[in-house]
A and B are shown apart, each in its own frame.
Chain A
Amino acid sequence: GQNIDQPTEMTATEGAIVQINCTYQTSGFNGLFWYQQHAGEAPTFLSYNVLDGLEEKGRFSSFLSRSKGYSYLLLKELQMKDSASYLCAVHGSSNTGKLIFGQGTTLQVKP
């Protein structure tokens, strides 16, 4: 079957660093996405990993290990506006761009 697991909720302090983990078991793998979603808004793209390693983009970094079926999203210098839901999603098939989502991690940043 297809399964993507991520923590339901996390809390962190403004200015700190937080790591959101995602583990996946899918019948195929063609890349992993991280999306950010503020309440009532559209999910917005943060990162894409298809090869092992770390991708850095400003305050956000994403890591992938295909052999372990594992990814994490690292957020540095947390700001209050980073309070949102973070969605891990996998492209499981090469025939279509459909995404398989985890339940999302709700991150609350406190002053």
Chain B
Amino acid sequence: EAGVTQFPSHSVIEKGQTVTLRCDPISGHDNLYWYRRVMGKEIKFLLHFVKESKQDESGMPNNRFLAERTGGTYSTLKVQPAELEDSGVYFCASSEGGTGTEAFFGQGTRLTVV
């Protein structure tokens, strides 16, 4: 069974540009999460989808970040326009259930804004 896959694995963009990250969760997992790890800091929650609906987006830094999950399958996270402080590793995770359920993580997308 395929795990959680993320694309691209690395992205280097200039400040002010737009970047779109993609996450394909494990098939059948209704719950999809985005997290981010900024260098030297802990992994932090960004948002949570249940199917195509946003269950919790309390961790989204600002309105330059837009997440979608059309059709309740794969998800995209767009950063527009990117700023230097957006650099970090963006992780996606999926799970069958919510609380108490193991989340499976992707390898992450390393985003560098220069």
> Which residue numbers of A lie inside 8 Å of B, CB to CB?
4, 30-31, 33, 35, 40-45, 48, 50, 87, 89, 91, 93-104
Quick check: is B104 within 8 A (CB to CB) of the other chain? yes
C-alpha spacing A98/B100, complex, angstroms: 10
Question: Is A97 touching B97 in the complex (CB atoms < 8 A)?
Answer: yes
Q: Are A98 and B102 in contact (CB under 8 A)?
A: no
Q: Which of B14-22, B40-48, B62-70, B72-80 interfaces with chain A?
A: B40-48
Q: Given A43-B105, A91-B100, A104-B42, 18 more contacts at CB 8 Å?
A: A4-B42, A31-B99, A33-B102, A42-B4, A42-B106, A42-B107, A43-B43, A43-B91, A44-B105, A87-B43, A96-B55, A96-B56, A98-B56, A99-B103, A100-B45, A101-B44, A103-B41, A103-B42
Q: A-contacting residues of B (Cβ < 8 Å)?
A: 3-4, 31, 33, 35, 41-45, 48, 55-56, 59, 91, 95, 97-108
Q: With the chains together, A24 CA to B107 CA distance in Å?
A: 26
The 5 A-B pairs of least Cβ separation, nearest first, read: A97-B98, A101-B43, A42-B105, A103-B42, A98-B45
In the assembled complex, the CB of B2 is this many whole angstroms from the nearest CB of chain A, namely 13
The contact sample of 25 A-B pairs, CB cut-off 8 A, is: A4-B42, A30-B100, A31-B99, A33-B102, A40-B107, A42-B3, A42-B4, A42-B104, A43-B105, A45-B103, A50-B100, A87-B43, A95-B56, A95-B98, A96-B48, A96-B55, A97-B31, A97-B33, A97-B98, A99-B35, A99-B45, A99-B103, A101-B35, A101-B44, A104-B42
Nearest-CB distance from A91 to chain B (Å)? 5
The interface centre, meaning the residue of A42, A94, A99, A104 with most chain B CB atoms within 10 A of its CB, is A42
CB contact under 8 A between A102 and B42, given known A42-B105, A91-B99, A91-B100: yes
Which residues on the A side are within 8 Å of B48 (C-beta)?
96-98
Contacts of A4 in B (CB 8 A): 42
Interchain nearest-CB distance for A89 vs B (Å): 8
Residue of B nearest to A46 (CB): B102
Task: From the candidates B41, B98, B102, name the one contacting A96 in the complex (CB within 8 A).
Answer: B98
A33 to B101, CA, bound (A): 10
